[in-house]
A and B are shown apart, each in its own frame.
Chain A
């Protein structure tokens, strides 16, 4: 019995030591995720709107953007932006990492926004236009607020996925959670505990995000509104 308790204490001590080592890297993971996702939302919204533009130039260009970005693995994009563009534009690791994840996810978000806008019945556009609103006012006050409610779940999925994919920027030397885990492992050769804890920390963050998403969905729910 005493052996088991000692063993348990040892495990907890090992995990606690690893946590102390990993702790400082967690804010970097959060920072990369939030900044890159903010960029994704901004770019994704513009590209999504351009995808359904009546002006062929914009819809064509945005389709190429989506196809190109979606068709190349994120890891390759990270390499390209850091080692390729980074050398020309003098980008540091952090900026290159945020740009790579942000641009990659913007393509997926663009498609989600496009679908969200197209899900709004045509009658809503017509009602707004018939009230003298300009196409911009219609989009801003009528279409996007309704689309927003529709796209919360898929956008949240992408946010959670981008949090996990932020681990890929460890490859260019950014000391985020996964990188810190690799450092600990390569220094102390504790593999099981290290990766168990790294995984658990990601899990806690993604589950917390899921809670925030559920709260957001409830907050923006409109009585009797069919899509929610």
Chain B
């Protein structure tokens, strides 16, 4: 195993009722790297991401995050999870809390930050995603793009070492996609380690250090954005790209 990797997955297998959703995937991610995971629906991209952040219990294999082994039998799995910020397709903001509280709750509960410090951090992040004026709003009062930007700010509030995005723009109206991708590009520029499941080929081309193409639970091909998008070696990758480009 590569000891300088921030994420190290080895021979990961996840089954749903006998069907392998992730089939022997090994992946190593370096600190500061932006990896985009592409693939058709049902190829195991989201499941892979969920295995890597401990939301899904994998059947075999090994995951090491920033030197700590992911172990579902161990009570401190939440300690590993807090190193990873996760952004979901459906935002999953807490509807009963306003935007500010969405950003401060985990800081207070998980990191034991005092209220003032948590609110300072929240304000800083809201300013970063351009939503300072929305801190008192409830999620239902925001547009999809705004909700997703709040979700990104919330994930960043714990100072994670890694950010994972599970199709963050799939549930958005086309004109709102840009604002979310803009925030993600900023993060990438700042050197955040990112794993992004998306169908946004333009984003992948512009930001990804590497692209991983998955099909039927396996990594079919991986390489630089230029190589995968312009000179794919695998037939399945070529078919996929010809359909989406």
Contact = CB atoms under 8 A, between A and B. Distances in A.
B54 to A, nearest CB: 8
Contacts of B105: 141
Interface stretch (B12-20, B86-94, B123-131, B187-195): B86-94
B96 A131 contact: no
Interface in A45-83: none
Contact of A127 (B54, B92, B141, B158): B92
Given A131-B158, A141-B109, A126 B138 contact: no
B82 interface: yes
A126 B55 contact: yes
- Looking at chain A's contact residues, the main secondary structure is helix
Interface string B227-244: 000000000000000000
Interface string B52-71: 01110000000000000000
Using C-beta atoms within 8 Å of the partner chain, give the interface range for chain B.
20 to 34
Using C-beta atoms within 8 Å of the partner chain, give the interface range for chain A.
20 to 34
Interface in A194-228: 222-226
Contacts of B138: 222-225
Nearest to B110: A132
B86 A130 contact: yes
Given A131-B158, A132-B81, A137 B109 contact: yes
Nearest to A145: B96
B154 interface: yes
Nearest to B79: A132
Interface in A105-133: 121, 123-124, 126-133
Interface in B116-155: 138-141, 154-155
A134 interface: yes
A134 B78 contact: yes
A127 B82 CA distance: 11
Contacts of B54: 129
A146 interface: yes
In this complex, the member of B78, B84, B85, B105 whose beta carbon has the largest number of chain A beta carbons within 10 angstroms is B78
B95 interface: yes
Contact of A223 (B106, B141, B154, B158): B141
In this complex, the member of A127, A128, A133, A222 whose beta carbon has the largest number of chain B beta carbons within 10 angstroms is A127
B197 to A, nearest CB: 14
Contact of B78 (A123, A127, A133): A133
Contact of A224 (B84, B88, B140, B154): B140
Interface of A: 121, 123-124, 126-134, 137, 141-142, 145-146, 149, 222-226
Given A132-B81, A132-B110, A137-B109, 7 more contacts: A124-B92, A129-B81, A130-B53, A130-B85, A131-B82, A132-B79, A146-B96
22 contacts: A121-B92, A123-B90, A124-B94, A127-B86, A127-B94, A129-B54, A129-B55, A129-B81, A131-B82, A131-B110, A131-B154, A132-B78, A132-B79, A132-B158, A133-B109, A134-B78, A137-B110, A146-B94, A149-B96, A225-B96, A225-B138, A225-B140
